[in-house]
Amino acid sequence: MNFRIIAYFMGWILEVEAASMVIPMILSIALGESDVWPWFLLLILIIAPLGFFLTRKRFRKGNFYVREGYAATGLGWLLLSAVGALPFFLSRRMPDYIDCLFETASGFTTTGSSVLSDIEALGKGLLFWRSFTHWLGGMGVLVLILAILPMSGGYHMQLMKAESPGPSVSKLVPRVMDTAKTLYLIYIVLTVTMILLYWISGMPLYDAVCIGFGTAGTGGFGVRNSGMADYSRASQILITIFMYLFGVNFNFYYLLSRRKFKDAFKMEEVRVYVGIILVNIIIVTLVTWRFSYRDEGLLYSLHHSAFTIGSLMSTTGFATVDFDAWPEIARLMMILLMFTGACAGSTGGGLKVSRLLLLFKEARKELHMLIHPQSVRPIKLEGKVVEHSVMRSASNYIIIYIMIFVAAFLIISIDGYDFTTNFSAVAATFNNIGPGLGKVGPTLNYSIYSPASKLVLTFCMLAGRLELLPMVMLLYPKTWTKHY
């Protein structure tokens, strides 16, 4: 393990974090939150020089391999959350550091699970910071660093692989730096358009920006205690649309921007994504109309079903209604959608549509092989043959996923809450959704859990966001030994 390289990247992460704290600080100063902004300032003054010091020491080229890439990603996100939690803690508006850590990790991993019952009490400066972590974590901090930092050699592709979601990460253009820039450009353009539209639809500007960050990163933090229920029908429809859009693979937008419309609409993953959405909307709309919203009518039911499905499938986690009160079949479908998640290469979490698609095809192949034992049947995705190594890692992903899930589920069950609550809490944090069911439902929060359980759920959020391996690797002893 080359610690100098890791220190170098930690330095850059601190720099990025310091830079992104500037806006909430200015906002705090403008609003006169005198118990908040001095802490922001102090933090910036500490971490910016520290980061600068760490990045001065250039590492020698060629000592940067997969292992360093993954370790740097895992540690980087831990550092990001640990430092990002400090403004909440130091300002005493959230007295418990573990709560702050949970909240910040939930922000950066775009989960959106909260331990706060009274959000508005945080103040606008801290709320802005909380929402901004969604935006930064959505596309990824290391991707941002790759976009601004010129590096030679191909090994830093590992950083991007470790941070970007999906079974196989491909570049859009030949160079990593250009790819990262392109991704951020698409991201920024979409975000700005969305914020403007929110604003026009009648949201206050501050809300539009914060909700915009939450939607873009598929996070789910709001700025009001009432969640999304207060906003106008038009705003809610816009949020619904953009939640779906940010769950789409960014390759799709890249192809659109290159005017390759045919290729874009041919993308198998996007088609399946849309298919799942439509089927779910139809079923859930009918079910909720029949059993829950008899009086409000079909349109009302369609509106809230579409919103909730978009919110859960894109792993955002906004809520307009308490879906925990829906009929059992609809509740269960919501849980399943949490696991499905968004497309690979989007800002969403979950297992990812393309990975499930691969596993489905693998299962179908297994059946096919029973009937034609000698047949040769390669698995294809997007019209291309999927390599064996990708298939293997997709299957192993599920195995590790289940193991972590079970372990986390067992540990938090010590706290003594019911099955639905615990199961949905792990599912909602591990898949980066936000609200679960039962005692952690959309109208409630995670403050009921003990500090130990909160740490476990924090680990789940980070592992879920980074596609398991970077976090699991940190726990693997051989990662840290010199003799290998």
| Long-range Cβ contact pairs of 261-267 (< 8 A, separation 24 or more) | 266/382, 266/383, 267/382
Among 173, 329, 332, 363, binds another protein (CB under 8 A): 173
At closest approach, how far in Å is the CB of 263 from another protein? 9
The 3-state DSSP class for residue 385 equals strand
CB atoms within 10 A of CB 176: 21
Nearest-angstrom CA–CA distance, 350 and 345: 12
Binding flag, residue 176, another protein (CB under 8 A):
yes
Binding flag, residue 383, another protein (CB under 8 A):
no
Nearest residue (CB) to another protein, 178 versus 322: 178
Among 12, 88, 135, 155, binds another protein (CB under 8 A): 155
Nearest-angstrom CA–CA distance, 405 and 426: 7
Q: Which residues pair with 381 in a beta bridge?
A: 384
Nearest-angstrom CA–CA distance, 199 and 193: 10
Nearest-angstrom CA–CA distance, 233 and 55: 48
Nearest residue (CB) to another protein, 158 versus 280: 158
Nearest residue (CB) to another protein, 172 versus 302: 172
Nearest-angstrom CA–CA distance, 133 and 245: 20
Nearest-angstrom CA–CA distance, 244 and 483: 47
Report phi then psi at 182, rounded to 5. -60, -45
Nearest residue (CB) to another protein, 69 versus 436: 69
**Residues 6 or more apart in contact with residue 483 via CB below 8 angstroms:** none
For the window 64-93, what string marks contact with another protein as x by the rule CB under 8 A? --x---------------------------
On whether the CB atoms of residues 381 and 433 are closer than 8 A, the answer is no
Among 49, 153, 297, 378, binds another protein (CB under 8 A): 153
For the window 200-239, what string marks contact with another protein as x by the rule CB under 8 A? ----------------------------------------
Binding flag, residue 380, another protein (CB under 8 A):
no
Among 95, 174, 373, 416, binds another protein (CB under 8 A): 174
Give the number of C-alpha atoms closer than 13 A to the C-alpha of residue 369, restricted to the C-beta side: 10
Options 32-40, 171-179, 200-208, 326-334: segment touching another protein (CB under 8 A): 171-179
Options 8-16, 90-98, 176-184, 441-449: segment touching another protein (CB under 8 A): 176-184
Nearest residue (CB) to another protein, 257 versus 413: 257
Binding flag, residue 178, another protein (CB under 8 A):
yes
Tokens of 80: 């990001």
Match 């906003």 to its residue by tokens.
231
Nearest residue (CB) to another protein, 180 versus 208: 180
For the window 17-56, what string marks contact with another protein as x by the rule CB under 8 A? ----------------------------------------
Binding flag, residue 156, another protein (CB under 8 A):
yes
Nearest-angstrom CA–CA distance, 371 and 375: 9
Binding site for another protein (CB under 8 A): 66, 151-157, 171, 173-178, 387
